[in-house]
Amino acid sequence: MTGELSPIDKAKFVAAKRAAEFVEDGMRVGLGTGSTAAWLVRCLGEMVREDGLKIRGVPTSTRTADLARDVGIEVISLDEAKWLDLTIDGADEFDSNLSLIKGGGGALLQEKIVATASDQMIVIADAAKEVEHLGSFPLPVEVIPFGWQTTQALIEETMVSMDVMGRQTSLRMNGDRAFVTDEGNHILDLHLGRIGNPRQMAMVLNQIPGVVENGLFIDICDQVVIGYGDGRVEVR
Ligand code: 5RP
């Protein structure tokens, strides 16, 4: 499954493989999105096919759903599952409180819904994702297409009163078109530099008309599994 991996892919793979050990027979599992989460899905697929592991997976994107089906995992919707035992997903940044920035892959809305509907959320990440302060990675905010430029202006205006270094925002593109999420929305990436108060930021952003959800995950993640390029893994 792995062949010759670069150090970064090895770090992602070993984190995913270790996190897969938390998955038990009969569990309803939230399946994250992104390159690290894809390793997790492949590892779980192998466990299903070769060890007879019986799980039902709730994917957080169409990409993950396609991969999960390909590797033999039974896929169900969140409404069918109703509640999940465990969600395992990647992150763009995590801090010492296990607060996260997510949404680099554009799936933050489904990811947050699924993680929140889980008894437990485990983040899998390479060591480079650990930060002292969130915000170097541009914060993704999902907005509805209607009047998105007005929403953008409102966000920029709001940032003036927040404890952040930068205020620039950009519409995420896919080639020469605006990126469209699985829910038909757009993503604004907020170049904040450093987020002084992530909890307040998450609440303030979601009050702005046109904002559907933001990529700050506060008090959602329970554990992080960190992978290193030399194959070491740390669970926190
Ligand atoms: C997708 C996400 C991903 O989990 C995040 O972008 C990390 O991705 P990767 O594992 O490829 O580094 O939030 O919306």
Average pLDDT, the chain: 96
* CA–CA gap between residue 145 and residue 94 (Å, rounded): 29
Centre of ligand 1 to C-alpha 227, Å, is 15
Express each pLDDT in 152-208 by its tens digit.
Answer: 999 999 998 887 888 899 999 999 999 999 999 999 999 999 999 999 999 999 999
- The verdict on the CB of residue 34 being under 6 Å from ligand 1 is yes
C-alpha 155/C-alpha 158 separation (Å) is 5
**Residue 2 pLDDT more than 80?**
no
**Which atom in ligand 1 lies closest to the alpha carbon of residue 107?**
14
Joined together, the tokens standing for residue 17 give 């493989």
215 labeled binding residue: no
Residues 6+ apart with CB under 8 A from 67: 38, 41, 42
Atom of ligand 1 nearest to the CA of 106: 14
Whether the complex's predicted ipTM is more than 0.90 is answered with yes
**Of 93, 111, 142, 213, which one is the catalytic site residue?**
111
Note if 4 is an active site residue. Answer: no
60 Cβ below 6 A of ligand 1: no
Contact 104 CB / ligand 1 (< 6 Å): yes
The shares of helix, strand and coil residues in the chain, as percent rounded to the nearest 5, are 35, 25, 40
In whole angstroms, give the CA distance from residue 12 to residue 5: 10
Per-residue model confidence as pLDDT tens digits over 214-227: 999 999 999 999 99
Say if pTM beats, i.e. exceeds, 0.90. yes
Q: Which atom of ligand 1 is nearest to the CA of 37?
A: 10
Instruction: Look at ligand 1, atom 4, and give the residue with the nearest C-alpha.
Output: 90
High-pLDDT (> 90) share of the chain, %: 94
Q: Where are the alpha helices (DSSP H) in the chain?
A: 7-20, 35-51, 62-70, 78-81, 108-116, 148-159, 198-206
Q: Which long-range contacts (CB under 8 A, 24 or more apart) does 158-163 make?
A: 158/204, 158/205, 158/208, 159/190, 159/192, 162/196, 162/197, 162/200, 162/201, 162/204, 163/195, 163/196, 163/197
Average pLDDT rounded to a whole number, residues 78-106: 98
Closest C-alpha to ligand 1, atom 10: 36
For residues 163 and 175, give the distance between their C-alpha atoms in angstroms, rounded to a whole number.
33
Q: Which two tokens stand for residue 227?
A: 């992978």
What is Dmax (Cα atoms) for the chain?
55
Please give the structure tokens belonging to residue 191. Answer: 């170049």
pLDDT of residue 23 exceeding 90, the answer is: yes
What's the token pair of residue 63?
């990409």
Q: Does the beta carbon of 33 lie inside 6 Å of ligand 1?
A: yes
